[in-house]
């Protein structure tokens, strides 16, 4: 897999960066991931599923939510503010 990261035409910051953004009650996730889980700050599982470009969180609790994405063989964790 190393050769995938050596293209000189792309900055390294463009590769493998998945930054979720909340827009109108949806988490929008650029890039591809295998599945997701959303937890409350206390660790309660609120929602989970496979790949979706937009994950609706309008019906979840407001405040901090914890999003875990499985990307390749990594688990990436994000703290998001659900307004």
Q: What is the pTM of this model?
A: 0.76
Tell me the pLDDT of the chain (83 aa) as tens digits: 444 544 444 444 444 566 899 999 999 998 889 999 999 999 999 999 999 989 999 999 899 999 999 988 889 999 999 98
DSSP string covering 60-77: SPSEEEEEEEEETTEEEE
Comparing CA positions, the residue from 22, 57, 25 lying closest to residue 38 is 57
């Amino acid at each position: 897999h190393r050769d995938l990261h050596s293209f000189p035409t792309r900055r390294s910051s463009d590769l493998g960066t998945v930054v979720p953004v909340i827009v109108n009650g949806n988490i929008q996730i650029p890039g591809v991931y295998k599945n997701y889980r959303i937890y409350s700050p206390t660790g309660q599982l609120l929602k989970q599923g496979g790949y979706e470009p937009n994950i609706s969180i309008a019906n979840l609790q407001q405040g901090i939510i914890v999003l875990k994405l499985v990307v390749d063989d990594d688990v990436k964790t994000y703290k998001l503010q659900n307004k």
